Structure 1
Amino acid sequence: MTFSLVARCPQTGMFGMVISSSSPAVAARCSHARAGVGAVASQNVTDPALGPLTLDLMEGGMSAAEAIGELRRRSRFMDYRQVLAVDRNGMSAVHSGANALGIWTSAQAENVAAGGNLLAHDGVPQAMVEEFLSSSGHLGDRLVAALRAGLAAGGEAGPVHSAGLKIVDQLSWPVADLRCDWTQECPVAAVATAWSIYKPQLGAYIQRALDPREAPSYGVPGDA
């Protein structure tokens, strides 16, 4: 019930991912990223524990493919899971269990992987990867473009209701973690709008966390 993309920016070392689904709050369960380590999507009859476990394995020195292989060895019910990972070297790996729902498939290239289940057709992940590779600019812009491309290519077989975008960069917390947990409208458009508002302020929020003495003003009533 999901289509997603995980990616690394080779210029900045940032990692990020985007995801959308007919299920509520998909990004709360399925999106995982760790600065300097990688990004992971764990979806299709979701086990949220698989995301942090995959990141732990990659942080310990495994490649994305090795980490996915270790998941297969140690985790139960992998026939029901779909996991996408990209590592610090830009290598990607995908596991899609035999019991993944509906039409399911994936696509990979250097620094990126996309995958989905209950898709409108099997070309959706490839459309996302191609859009990501052909785009430029901030990683967030490229992620949003890829998510929009997945939706335009057909997306999920039914209407989607939630979406999310996550980006990590050098810090222990995500520098962007934007979500639309439920809407009857278009969650992809909602996340894209949120990113367009958040992007110009991203640096200011980082500065406020690192050293509020040097932070820009908040720009709200009552702000000195």
Structure 2
Amino acid sequence: MTFSIVARCAESGQLGIAISSSSIAVGARCPWARAGVGVVATQNVTLPALGPQVLDLLEHKQLDPAAALDRALNSDGWSQYRQVTVIDAQGRTAFFSGKEALGVYHAVAGEQCVAAGNMLAGPEVIEAMVRAFEGAPGKLADRLLAAMHDAMAAGGEAGPVHSAALKIVDEHTWPIVDLRVDWADNDPLGELDRFWQAYRPQMQDYLTRALNPTIAPSYGVPGNE
């Protein structure tokens, strides 16, 4: 049903997640990221509340990912249906797959990343994601997408995927990348790639518009001069 990777860039400190699913609008329910705190993927039979709950425990209770995840799951009476991964701003990781996770499921922690999935073609899908992320060059977004494409090449889900999302936080309270394909009959990851390639050269300009409008470039938006 879903596979994802949460990760941290050791050079920039950026935190991010890439995720894909056979379900509609996976980006609306499953990926959660908070600048300077961490990233959470909550999937399988998804409880979206686990994302902000884990992030709150990381930020306000100063718990490590394993303790934060454990406390959040203990408050959920249906934790055995959940699959959750976490990475914090220090690169520490945690993951959980309940015994009621769907189909073939697997999770692997790598260097500055955690990948997990359910309803997989096989456990090698997740292992391929971690290897790809660890070996890929470029920005965090490029590395996350490389991991997703290697997952698909290794078999992906047992059935077709229809939605995908990419979210990255840096030093600001809002995501610097928040791209979603809520439904595609074919190749949502290819669509997500195209969105990223279109957004990438404009990303810094949108940050400039937010932080200092007096020096921001215009994109011909009504009202701009």
Counterpart of 1:150 in structure 2 is 151
Contact 1:91 1:110 in 2 (8 A): no
Deviation at 1:91, TM superposition (A): 1.1
Aligned to 1:97: 98
| One-letter amino acid of the structure 1 residue matched with residue 76 of structure 2 | S
Runs of 4+ in 1 over 3 A off after TM superposition: 219-224
1:222, distance to aligned residue in structure 2 (A): 8.5
Which residue of the partner structure matches residue 30 of structure 1?
Answer: 30
Please state how far the C-alpha of 1:19 moved relative to its aligned partner: 0.4
Taking the aligned partners of 1:204 and 1:191, their CA distance within structure 2 comes to: 20
Q: Which structure 1 residue ranges, 5 or more long, are not aligned?
A: none
Partner of 1:21: 21
After TM superposition, list the pairs within 5 Å mapping 1:18-97 onto structure 2. Answer: 18-60=18-60, 61-97=62-98
Q: Check the 8 A contact 2:15/2:170 in 1, yes or no.
A: yes
* Aligned 1:1-224 pairs, distance under 5 A: 1-60=1-60, 61-219=62-220, 224=225
Name stretches of at least 5 consecutive residues in structure 2 with no aligned partner. Answer: none
How far apart, CA to CA, are the structure 2 residues paired with 1:109 and 1:64?
15
Checking the alignment, whether the CA contact within 8 Å between 1:33 and 1:40 is kept in structure 2 is: yes
Does the CA-based 8 Å contact 1:9-1:139 persist in structure 2?
Answer: yes
Structure 1 residues 173 and 220: alpha-carbon distance in aligned structure 2, compared to 1, 3 A threshold: closer
Distance 2:68 2:157 in 1: 27
1:221 Cα offset (Å): 8.6
Aligned-pair distance for 1:218?
A: 1.4
Deviations 1:30-87 (A, max 9, x none): 0100000011100011000000001111112111111111123222200000000001
Contact 1:92 1:110 in 2 (8 A): no
> Are the counterparts in 1 of residues 111 and 134 from structure 2 also a CA contact under 8 Å?
no
CA distance in 2, matches of 1:112, 1:95: 14
* Structure 1 vs Structure 2 CA RMSD: 1.3
What is the aligned residue count? 224
In structure 1, C-alpha distance between the alignment counterparts of 2:8 and 2:87, rounded to whole Å: 7
Quick one: distance in 2 between partners of 1:118 and 1:9?
28
Q: Deviations over 1:8-34 (max 9, x none)?
A: 111111100000010000111001000
Matches of 2:214 and 2:73, distance apart in 1: 48
What's the TM-score once normalised by structure 1's chain length? 0.97
Residues 122-162 of structure 1: per-residue CA shift (max 9 Å, x gap): 11111001100001211111111111111111111000000
Tell me the TM-score normalised to structure 2 length: 0.96
